[in-house]
């Protein structure tokens, strides 16, 4: 996962969209299945041990299950082809789902903070700690397998919804390990404050994860550009055509599994409209080959002809919009 000053995960350009869709669906089904098993196991362990640290991981798994279900629905919606009302597709369903997930995570952290604070003021022993440790061991094994598969899917597809889900379960790994340590310290060494203190630490980490998740989702909602290396690759492909003189106004964005690329290509002013169209088509096909499923829009500019530009300048009065005439 990326922080707010990093680029979103890159997509494997050689992966066909149909294959990407199947991988994304499989990841969401696996996530919901694992979350359901963990909720049942942790609920039984919490009832048996009455440990607030066990309650913390149960809450986290409950919200993971809800978030995984949201991801499943969001991915299915994001993969729906464009229609008359949504000409750019339904890809924004993914970051919107991620924002909902971050809200779920923050809610769980707030509840956990309240429970941990109460246990700090009224510490109590943890019975049947062996049951809790066994359940946490099972959770670690299942979560490791799921995270490994999710990270593979994210590397291949760049799905922000799957990445968000993976973040939940990466947090779970640390949560589960910390709960084991907490149970050992409380039950074996008699340190009753270990249980609520570990719960507080888990809550803080959950809040941090929610912040990261929300910032990345906002980047996609706000149409952040593709990573610099991918933009440079697009430039190289366009400028590799022998009849393209230069390129400007390159704009890119990602919407779920869909990528949108726009640019202006400068060509000789004395060629025909048909020739300019053929050049643009050839460049478009080259880029689409490198980025399967991308939608590429190219505007042809005659060299040396001024064109209207809208730019933004920083001044003493703040940022202002300026319309200028500049050569293509």
Q: How far apart are CA 300 and CA 263, in angstroms?
A: 9
- pTM comes to 0.51
Q: How far apart are CA 27 and CA 10, in angstroms?
A: 18
Instruction: Indicate whether 4 belongs to any domain.
Output: no
Q: For the chain, give the longest Cα–Cα distance.
A: 87
Q: How far apart are CA 210 and CA 104, in angstroms?
A: 9
Which of 197, 221, 245 represents a domain boundary (last residue)?
221
CB-based contacts of 327, cutoff 8 Å, min separation 6: 304, 305, 306, 307
Same structural domain, 36 and 83: yes
| Enclosing domain of residue 95 | 17-221
Q: How far apart are CA 301 and CA 71, in angstroms?
A: 42
Q: How far apart are CA 138 and CA 175, in angstroms?
A: 13
Tell me the three state secondary structure of residue 16. Answer: coil
Same structural domain, 207 and 248: no
Instruction: Indicate whether 159 belongs to any domain.
Output: yes
Q: What is the pLDDT of residues 235-289, one digit of tens each?
A: 999 999 999 999 988 988 876 667 889 999 999 999 999 999 999 999 999 998 8
- Going residue by residue through the chain, which has 328 residues, state the pLDDT in tens, using 9 for 90 and above: 333 333 344 455 556 667 777 888 888 888 888 888 988 888 888 888 877 777 777 877 777 777 777 767 766 666 666 666 665 665 666 677 777 777 777 777 777 777 677 767 766 666 667 787 888 888 899 999 999 998 888 888 777 667 767 876 777 777 777 778 777 887 777 777 777 787 787 778 778 777 877 777 776 676 677 888 889 999 999 999 999 999 988 988 876 667 889 999 999 999 999 999 999 999 999 998 888 778 899 999 998 777 766 555 555 555 555 545 554 4
Question: H-helix or E-strand containing 323?
Answer: strand 318-327
Same structural domain, 235 and 180: no
250: exposed, middle or buried (C-beta count within 10 Å: 0-12, 13-18, 19+)? Answer: middle
Instruction: Indicate whether 7 belongs to any domain.
Output: no
Instruction: Indicate whether 212 belongs to any domain.
Output: yes
Instruction: Please check whether residue 74 is in contact with residue 161, taking contact to mean a CB–CB distance below 8 angstroms.
Output: yes
Instruction: Please check whether residue 109 is in contact with residue 63, taking contact to mean a CB–CB distance below 8 angstroms.
Output: no
Which of 199, 221, 243 represents a domain boundary (last residue)?
221
Number of domains in the chain: 2
Same structural domain, 128 and 173: yes
Look at residue 272 in the predicted model and tell me its pLDDT: 93
Would you state the structure tokens that stand for residue 27, as one six-digit string?
Answer: 């990841």
Tell me the three state secondary structure of residue 196. Answer: helix
Look at residue 4 in the predicted model and tell me its pLDDT: 35
Instruction: Indicate whether 5 belongs to any domain.
Output: no
Same structural domain, 45 and 189: yes
Q: How crowded is residue 180: how many other Cβ atoms within 10 Å of its Cβ?
A: 21
Q: What percent of the chain has pLDDT over 70?
A: 73
Instruction: Indicate whether 77 belongs to any domain.
Output: yes
φ/ψ (deg, to 5) at 244 = -95, 120
Same structural domain, 134 and 108: yes
């Amino acid at each position: 996962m990326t922080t707010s000053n990093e680029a979103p995960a890159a997509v494997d350009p050689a992966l066909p969209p149909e294959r990407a869709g199947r991988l994304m669906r499989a990841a969401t089904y696996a996530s919901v299945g694992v979350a359901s098993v963990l909720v049942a196991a942790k609920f039984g362990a919490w009832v048996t041990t009455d440990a607030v640290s066990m309650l913390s991981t149960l809450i986290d798994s409950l919200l993971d299950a809800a978030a995984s279900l949201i991801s499943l629905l969001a991915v299915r919606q994001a993969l729906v082809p464009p229609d008359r009302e949504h000409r750019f597709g339904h890809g924004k369903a993914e970051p919107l789902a991620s924002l909902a997930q971050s809200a779920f995570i923050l809610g769980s952290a707030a509840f956990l903070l309240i429970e941990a604070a109460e246990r700090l003021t009224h510490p109590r022993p943890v019975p049947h700690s062996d049951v809790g440790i066994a359940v946490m061991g099972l959770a670690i094994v299942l979560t490791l397998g799921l995270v490994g598969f999710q990270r593979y899917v994210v590397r291949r597809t760049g799905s922000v919804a799957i990445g968000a889900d993976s973040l939940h379960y990466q947090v779970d790994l640390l949560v589960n390990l910390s709960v084991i340590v907490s149970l050992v310290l409380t039950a074996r060494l008699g340190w009753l404050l270990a249980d609520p203190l570990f719960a507080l630490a888990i809550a803080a980490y959950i809040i941090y994860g929610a912040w990261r998740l929300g910032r990345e989702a906002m980047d996609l909602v706000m149409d952040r550009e593709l990573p610099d290396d991918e933009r440079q690759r697009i430039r190289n492909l366009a400028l590799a055509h022998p009849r393209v003189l230069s390129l400007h106004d390159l704009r890119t964005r990602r919407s779920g599994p869909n990528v949108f690329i726009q640019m202006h290509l400068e060509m000789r002013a004395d060629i025909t409209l048909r020739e300019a169209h053929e050049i643009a088509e050839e460049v478009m096909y080259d880029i689409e080959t490198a980025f399967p499923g991308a939608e590429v829009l190219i505007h042809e500019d005659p060299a040396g002809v001024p064109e209207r530009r809208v730019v933004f300048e920083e001044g003493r009065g703040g940022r202002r919009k300026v319309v200028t005439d500049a050569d293509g």
